[in-house]
Each structure stands twice: as C-alpha cells, then as structure tokens.
Structure 1
Amino acid sequence: MKNRKNIVSLLVVLILMVSTVALFTGCDHIYKQKLVGVWEVKKITVDGKSMEFPLDAMGSKTHTYVYFTADGKHGRAVKVTGAPVPAMEGLFKADDEVDYAIKGNKISIKTVLRKLPLS
C-alpha cells in the first residue's frame, strides 16, 4: 500500500511538472510569434505641446509602451514602478487594440478620432 502511494505521488508530481513546462513554453511561443515590436514612449508632441516620459507622480514612475502584432493590431501598455501601494505596481494593458498600417517609413495608427502618422 505504501509503495502504491509513492508511485501515485510520483506520477502526480511528474504530471504537474510536464503540464507547467508545456503551459509556459507553449504560451510564450504563441505570444512571441504574434508580437512584432515594442517601443517605449519617451516623448509625445501634439500641436506643438510636448510631454516627457516616464511620468512621475507621488513617488511612482509610469512608463508607457506601444506594441505591434503580426496581424496588424497596435496596443498600449503601462508599467508602474515605485508606487506607494504594492498592488498598484506592475505591467498593465492600457486599452483595446486598434489597427495599424505601414507604408514606407511611416506607421499609420487608427484611433477613434483620426489616423496619426508616425515617422
């Protein structure tokens, strides 16, 4: 009976190990295939007015990133560091993905209001 418990315990541990490895390597592979690039935003200028990044507020820093996927989608993520409350720190997806197109050395990102050409 004791030998049977040891075998069952060993099988459970092996199944958990294989499942964990398959989960992390499989998801990472799919995610890397879809992701084309990530840029960290350092400065935004609209109508002659500029904003520098990362943003500093109450001792925390907010870094902003834009990412592009192989299927023509663009999204934004923010990373908060140094927050006074640990639950407020981390990497967060900021909004829904929108379409983008590349033509020459410009990227046109479709927004709710208009397309923004980036050089």
Structure 2
Amino acid sequence: MSKPGAVELPVLTTSDTAAPCCPPLTERPLTAEEAERTAAMFKALGDPVRLRLFSLVASHAGGEACVCDISDVGVSQPTVSHHLKKLREAGLLTSERRGTWVYYKVAPSVVAAMSAMLDPR
C-alpha cells in the first residue's frame, strides 16, 4: 500500500531486457503521462546528493549496495534515507531489508530505459 501523496509509477520493464518507459525523444512527442513519469525520474536525479547516491549504488560491486556502504556523501544519515526514499519513489531504486541493513539496487533496466529514451537515433 502506498503512502498518501506518493507518486505511483508504472513498472519500467517487462522482462530482463530494457523496455523504455517512453519512446526516444526524437521519435515522437511525449504524451502528458509519459512526460510526467519521465520528469519524476529526472527530478529525482536532479539533486546532486541523489545523483551521487544513485551512482554509488549503480557502480557498486554486484550492482547492489548496503546503505552502510553509501552513507558517506556529506549529509546526515536521515538525509541519506530521505534521498534514497525519493529515488525509490521515482522508480529508480529497489530496496531489501536484511537484518538491520537495507540493500539497494538500481531498478531493473532503468539505466538502459532512460538511455534509450535519450538516444537520438
């Protein structure tokens, strides 16, 4: 169940392969729904701390990072948690609690999907 006011975003993938949320920008204009969904992802990445956290998770060995490994980004732990929550709400990260730690992964195919949307082919 979602929290009140949380943005529900459609799943970005249909399988293990990239399934862009939207067509490449050069293919056709985005619909209002596609633009809203895409803007939420880019807005989440528009904050330098969030972008750094996303990069830390994406580049971590095995594609997964414990919050204990990525918390040193120059802000307090509650602020890190807030930013990670925003990245999850935007559909960019998934998380799993294991004991006392939370592990984060980039949502399946999200980087490929965003890249495909920006590809000028």
- TM-score by length of structure 2 reads 0.23
Please tell me whether Structure 1 or Structure 2 has the larger radius of gyration of its CA atoms.
1
Higher strand share: 1
Between Structure 1 and Structure 2, the one with more helix by share is 2
Q: Which of the pair has the greater relative contact order for Cα pairs under 8 Å at 6+ separation?
A: 2
